[in-house]
Chain A
Amino acid sequence: MPLIFDIALTHIAGRGRQTLVAVIGVAVGVGFSIAMAALMQGGQDDFVRQLVDTMPHVDITDEQRTARRQPAEDAFATVAISGLRPRDDRRGIINPTAATSWLESWIPGRFAASLKTQGVIRFSSREVGAAIIGIEPEREPGVSPIVGNFVEGSFSALAAGGNNVLIGDTMASRLGAGFGDTITAVSAEGLTRNFKIAGLFHTGTTARDEGEAYVLLKNAQILSARPNAINDIRIKLDDPDRAPAVAQRAEAELGYKAVAWQEANESILEALVVRNVIMYTVVGAIMLVAGFGIYNIISTITHEKARDIAIMKSLGFPESDMRRLFLLEGVAIGAAGSVLGGLLGVSMTYALSLVRFEIAATGQEMTRLPIAWSLTHYVIASAFALGSAAVAGYLPARRAARLNPVEIIRGAS
C-alpha cells in the first residue's frame, strides 16, 4: 500500500467514532439524494409516459403557421392585412389521399386520418357539446387513446359499420343515456343524424370522457357535408423522441402545421426542467452539509496531528505530500460515505417502490409510487459527495501543509 495511503488510513481509523459520524453524514446525504431522485424521476417519467400515450406524437392539422400571403400584399408595398378570416370554416387537408400515401411511405410508426368537427349530442331533452370525430376503424387503433379503455361495448363495434357512436362514460351520464341507446348528433352545419351507442369508454382524461364522440369517418363527412374531407392526421411513432424531426419533415412537405408532442407540451416540459433544477439544488445543499462534517473531521485531525506533520516534514516529506495526505483522508470518508449511501439509496428506493396506496378520488385504483431505477442517480450523487469531500478535505489540508515544522518542534521541546 502506498505510504501516504497507509498514513491516511491510520489517521482516520484512529478517530473511529468521529469518522463514522462523518461517513454516515455523507451516506445519509447520498442515500436520500438517490431516493429522492428515483422518486422525482419516476414521477416525471410516468407523467411524460402518460402524456405521450394519451396524445398523438405528431398532430397534423389543417392550419398554417403563418397567414397565407394575400394578392394585395404582393401588389402594394404598403398594404398590411391582419385579422383575416376565411369566408367559411370549411377548411380541410387538401388531397388527403396523396398526403396519407406519402406518410405511409416513410413514417416510422402508425398514423390515422380523421375529421374533427364541433357539434352537439342530444338525448331525450338533454344536450351536450361535443367534438365529433370521424375515424377510420382500420387505422385508428394504432393511434387511439380509447381503444383499450372500454367500460361497455368495444372499439370494434365501430368497424362493423352502421350508425354507431362511441362516447365517454361521463358524457353518457350527463346525457342520461346508456349503452344501446340512440342519440342524435347535430353538426355545426345544422345537419342531424342518429347514432346508436355501441361503446362507452373511460380514459381518465376528463375532457375526453365528457367531450368526445367517435363515429365512422364517412358518417362525420356526411354530417358536416364535407365529402372526402379530413382535417387531422395523428401520428404515433415507434420512438416518441423522434417526433420533432418527423413533424418538421411533414410540415415542410405537406404545408400544414405539424405539431410534435414536445412542442404541444412545451410549458409542461419546461416546468419539469425547473423541477430538476430544484432537485439538484437540494442534492447540492445536502452534500454541502455532508461536506461540513468532512471539513470538521479533517480540520480536527490536522490540528491534532500538527506534531506528526512536523515530524514528517522534518523527515523529508514535501508540502505536496501533506496536502495529498489530508485530501485523501477527506476523499476516503467521501468514498466510504458514497458506497454506504449507495446501499442506503437502493434500500430506500426499494422500500418506496413497495408503498401502495389508493387514489382517493376514484377509490378503486391501487397504485404504486412511480420509481425510476437509474445508475445515473448513483453516479451523480457519488460525484457530488466525492466533490464536496475533496473540497472539504482540501481546505484544511492546504493549511496543514503550510505548517512550519520549526515552530511545532520548538514548541514541543
Chain B
Amino acid sequence: MSALIETRQLTRVLPETVPVTLVKDITLAIDEREFVAVTGPSGSGKSSLLYLLGLLDRPTAGTLTIGGRDAEPMNERERARTRLSMLGFVFQFHFLLPEFTARENVEIPMRKLGRLARPQMRERAGELLSSLGLGEHLDKRPDQLSGGQRQRVAVARSLANDPPLILADEPTGSLDSKSSEQVFAILENLVREGGKTVVAVTHDLDMAARMDRRIHIVDGKIG
C-alpha cells in the first residue's frame, strides 16, 4: 500500500544573493491514520517543511507525491484544488477571516469545493463546531472568541472538506496549558476515531511523546 504523502530528497533553497537552505534532502513517507510529530529547534526548518508538504511552497529539488500523485507537474490551479480537497491547515495563529462568523469560516472551504448543498454545508459546519465544543459560539465572529476557541474553529475549518491529511504548525503554541490539552486531544481523536492523518509541529516534548512518530529536524535535515 502506498503512503499518503511521500518525499524523496526534498530540498528548498531560497534564491537570495547568499542562498538560504530551508529544507535539505528530506526523504520520508507518512501513511494514513498516522499521528506524526515534527520536532526540532526554532529556525530548523519545520514550518518550511510543512509548507512544502501542504503544496503552499514548491521544492527546489526532490520529489513529493500526495495521494499517489506527483506534485511536480501540477499547476497553480491543481495545487489549489488539492489543498482544498485533501489538506487541512492549522497554524499557530488562528488565521480565520475576521468578518465572518465561526460557522461561516467553516463553510467557506465547503462553498469553494461546492460538493454539498448550502443547507448541508450549514448543518455540517454546525456539527463540526459542536463536536469541538463550540456549539454555543456558531454565530460569533473571531474577535468575540478566546484564543483556544479560535484555534478550535480553525481545526473545524481544516476538517470542512473531510480531507485525509491535517497539517498543524504549532497548533498549541499560543495557547495556555488547558486549551493546549484540549486542542491536542481533538487532534488525537481525529486520528484515533476519525481515521485522519495528522502531522503536527510541536515544541512540547510531552505531546510529541504521545504521538505515533517523531520526525526531528535540525538545520533543515532529518536529524
Contacts and interface: CB of A to CB of B under 8 A. Distances in A.
Contact of B85 (A316, A321, A412): A316
Given A409-B91, A413-B91, A315 B100 contact: no
A317 B112 contact: yes
B97 A311 contact: yes
Contacts of B57: 406
B92 A413 contact: yes
B80 A3 contact: no
A316 B92 contact: no
B77 interface: yes
A359 to B, nearest CB: 59
B56 A316 contact: no
B56 A405 contact: yes
A14 interface: yes
Interface string A311-330: 11111111111000000000
Nearest to A404: B57
Contact of B100 (A10, A307, A405): A10
Given A316-B83, A413-B47, A3 B97 contact: no
A153 to B, nearest CB: 80
Given A314-B83, A316-B80, A307 B95 contact: yes
Given A3-B111, A413-B47, A413-B169, A308 B56 contact: no
Contacts of A413: 47, 91-93, 169-170
Contacts of B89: 314-315
Nearest to A401: B76
B95 A316 contact: no
Chief secondary structure at chain A's binding surface? helix
Contact of A410 (B47, B84, B111): B47
Contacts of A7: 97
A313 B95 contact: no
Nearest to A2: B111
Nearest to B111: A3
Interface residues of B, number: 32
Nearest to B99: A10
B112 A3 contact: yes
A85 to B, nearest CB: 82
B56 to A, nearest CB: 5
Contacts of A312: 97, 108
B148 interface: no
Interface string B1-37: 0000000000000000000000000000000000000
Most chain B beta-carbon neighbours within 10 Å: one of A308, A319, A405, A409: A409
A135 to B, nearest CB: 80
A405 B50 CA distance: 13
B153 to A, nearest CB: 12
Contact of A314 (B56, B77, B93, B111): B56
Most chain A beta-carbon neighbours within 10 Å: one of B54, B82, B84, B99: B99
Nearest to B100: A10
Interface in B45-68: 47, 51, 54, 56-57
A313 B77 CA distance: 10
A412 B93 contact: yes
A315 B51 contact: no
Given A3-B108, A412-B93, A318 B77 contact: yes
30 contacts: A3-B111, A10-B100, A307-B95, A310-B95, A311-B95, A311-B97, A312-B108, A313-B56, A314-B56, A314-B83, A315-B83, A315-B108, A315-B109, A315-B112, A316-B84, A316-B85, A317-B80, A317-B112, A318-B76, A318-B77, A318-B81, A320-B77, A321-B112, A405-B56, A406-B51, A409-B51, A412-B95, A413-B47, A413-B92, A413-B169
Interface of B: 47, 51, 54, 56-57, 76-77, 80-85, 87, 89, 91-93, 95-100, 108-109, 111-113, 157, 169-170
Pairs A-B, 9 closest by C-beta atoms: A316-B84, A318-B80, A316-B83, A10-B99, A3-B111, A318-B77, A413-B92, A311-B95, A406-B57
Interface of A: 3, 7, 10-11, 14, 307-308, 310-321, 405-406, 409-410, 412-413
Given A311-B97, A316-B83, 15 more contacts: A3-B111, A7-B97, A14-B99, A308-B98, A314-B89, A315-B109, A317-B80, A317-B84, A319-B77, A405-B56, A406-B51, A409-B51, A409-B91, A413-B47, A413-B91
